[in-house]
Amino acid sequence: MISLFREVLKRDLKFLDTERAKKPHRIPVVLTTSEVTTIFRYLKGRDLLFARILYGGGLRHYEGLRLRVKDVDVEARQLIVRDGKGAKDRVTVLPESVIADLLAQKEMVRRLHVADLADVSTTMIYTHVSRSGPLGVKSPRDRL
């Protein structure tokens, strides 16, 4: 309300003498190396890999979730963080300790993708539905 009167209507509210609330200055919480090591002990697989990339590269959680394969430059040992805090792109380090596990994860996903492409039975169902229309396909449950 105050900004409506002051900025839009250009009127001063003489009966209302207020001050803006000040944001408290907070020191960010930083984990010690031993605390991070303890957390890593409880993680495994891709969760551990994700946490190691976040910690080693100094990424925020949502920045790690947005990483794509093309944002990882193994040869230059860097990560490209797109649309990070302040809607800015930045480059950060790719920890050398995660490179082997990261490449293994990438290869595992590639093999899974190739296997998915080899099995076309699901695709055949979608093709049948698209040709017959949604009412032309009967569920086995409909026959009961």
Q: In Å, what is the CA distance from 3 to each residue of 14, 15, 17, 22, 40?
A: 14, 15, 13, 16, 48
Q: Does residue 128 surpass a pLDDT of 80?
A: no
Give the tens place of pLDDT for each residue, 15-29: 666 676 788 888 878
Q: Tell me what the mean pLDDT of segment 105-121 comes to.
A: 85
What token pair was written down for 86?
A: 């302040």
Domains of the chain with bracketed CATH: 30-132 (1.10.443.10)
Confidence (pTM): 0.65
Give the tens place of pLDDT for each residue, 47-91: 999 999 999 999 999 999 999 999 999 999 999 999 877 888 999
The edge-to-edge listing of strands for the beta sheet with 90-93 is 72-73, 78-81, 90-93
**Predicted pLDDT at 29:** 83
